[in-house]
Amino acid sequence: MAANKSLLLLPGDGIGPEVMSQVKRVIEWMDRRRAVRFEITEDLVGGAAIDAHGVPLADATLEKALSVDAVLFGAVGGPKWDNLDFKIKPERGLLRLRKDLGLFANLRPAICFEALADASTLKREVVEGLDILILRELTGGIYFGEPRGITVLPDGTRRGVNTQVYTTPEIRRVARVAFELARKRHSHVTSAEKANVMESGILWREEVQKLHDAEFPDVRLDHIYADNCAMQLVRNPKQFDVIVTDNLFGDILSDEAAMLTGSLGMLPSASLGDADESGRRRALYEPVHGSAPDIAGQDIANPIAMMLSFAMALRYSFDMADEADLVEAGVRKVLADGLRTADIMQKGTARVSTSVMGDSILLALDRLAA
């Protein structure tokens, strides 16, 4: 018997627990129908952890995250915790997990499902068949750079500072992941920065180019200014294959790319660390959408991004490509059958709740696996 696969579930706040409970059903389904057993632990993060422990990520939770094969993360934050001190805001829990697990490579695929090509605010011909991957650097840049803070100046006015900083190794390791991923796709990497105004952007561009020339000359490499990249994403997104970019530009460009697919509720992500001697990478999987407090607790959230995040875990942490394909096929099937949560509703489709979407995906899995 293979060793159990360990998973830490951190549902978090808002719609996090609702979408995570649908994934739990898929995990149970895997156990029942595919004899794939996961060893599950669950814990608190974000506002839920603040309420219980006074901090958005307890040390004991971080210890668990460091010991499992993969973390499945829901979402954090909500108005209840908005006015807390910055250092203990719910988001800090997520940022600490990313940093302390060393998850520098954030994969954010933007795929337009055929059935949703009309749900995007962009024209069908612009997004139909779209399949791009944004690779966001996740543990460096302005999110973590020092100095940072708000100080009061002698005249009583205030000064806010954040620092964009990247080193050669930080740029090279994420660029390497981009080139390796591109080789398994369409062998095209576009690197986005602001080398026209930022020194860190110049360094970024030079290091990506150097690594390319030395080790990945077979991959096509283009450089693009991040603002132009934002424009090209809505003008002609299918020109891209893999986009590699820093932490802040990646945050923005991935939200933009999400809307090409019809809804933020559709987008999964994987955050990976360096491989250890056995080839195992620390990993955290999370939907790109947030906690959506305005619709929390109403059973109307779209669980698909969370489902697809689990599929990414199957693919990247557990080497279970067949099962990952199956979950993705299940999602495609219910969309093709015309079932929609509120965020992706269109004329002629049927509106379903979070839990009915879960029921339908399980039913689709039953049929596909029969």
87 as an active site residue: the answer is: no
**Closer by beta carbon to ligand IPM, 215 or else 256:** 256
Closest residue to Mg ion: CB criterion: 251
- Can 194 be counted among the known catalytic residues? yes
Q: Which does 91 bind (CB under 5 to 8 A by kind): Mg ion, ligand IPM, none?
A: ligand IPM
Q: Which stretch binds ligand IPM (CB under 6 A): 87-95, 231-239, 273-281, 355-363?
A: 87-95
Annotated catalytic residue within 82, 227, 274, 294 = 227
SS3 11: strand
Direct distance between the N- and C-terminal alpha carbons of the chain, in angstroms, rounded to an integer = 24
Q: Is 340 exposed, middle or buried (0-12, 13-18, 19+ CB in 10 A)?
A: buried
Which residues of the shown chain bind Mg ion in the complex (CB under 5 A)?
251
Asked if 323 is part of the footprint of ligand IPM (rule: CB under 6 A), the reply reads no
Contact 249, 226 (CB under 8 A): yes
Q: Which of residues 113-132 bind ligand IPM (CB under 6 A)?
A: none
Among 13, 69, 89, 194, the active-site one is 194
**How is residue 350 written in tokens?**
């049927």
Residue among 118, 11, 26, 36 at smallest CA distance from 328: 26
91 touches ligand IPM (CB under 6 A): yes
Per the residue annotation, which of 251, 316, 333, 343 is the catalytic one? 251
According to CB under 6 A, which one of 251, 323, 328, 343 is a site residue for ligand IPM? Answer: 251
Q: Count the Cβ atoms, other than its own, within 10 Å of residue 191.
A: 28
Pick the piece of the chain touching ligand IPM (CB under 6 A) from 17-25, 89-97, 125-133, 346-354.
89-97
Q: Distance between CA atoms of 147 and 223, rounded to whole angstroms?
A: 29
Catalytic annotation, pick one of 118, 255, 299, 337: 255
Dist. CA 212–CA 97, nearest whole Å:
30
Active site annotation includes 227? yes
Q: Note if 31 is an active site residue.
A: no
Nearer to ligand IPM, 90 or 330 (CB): 90
Residues paired with residue 220 on neighbouring β-strands, in sequence order = 188
Contacts 24+ apart (CB under 8 A), 219-222: 219/179, 219/182, 219/183, 219/187, 219/188, 219/189, 220/187, 220/188, 220/189, 221/189, 221/190, 221/191, 222/188, 222/189, 222/190, 222/191
- The answer to whether residue 80 is catalytic is no
Piece of the chain touching ligand IPM by CB under 6 A; list 32-40, 91-99, 146-154, 212-220: 91-99
Catalytic residues: 143, 194, 227, 251, 255
- Provide the binding-site residues for ligand IPM, judged by CB under 6 A: 91, 94-95, 251
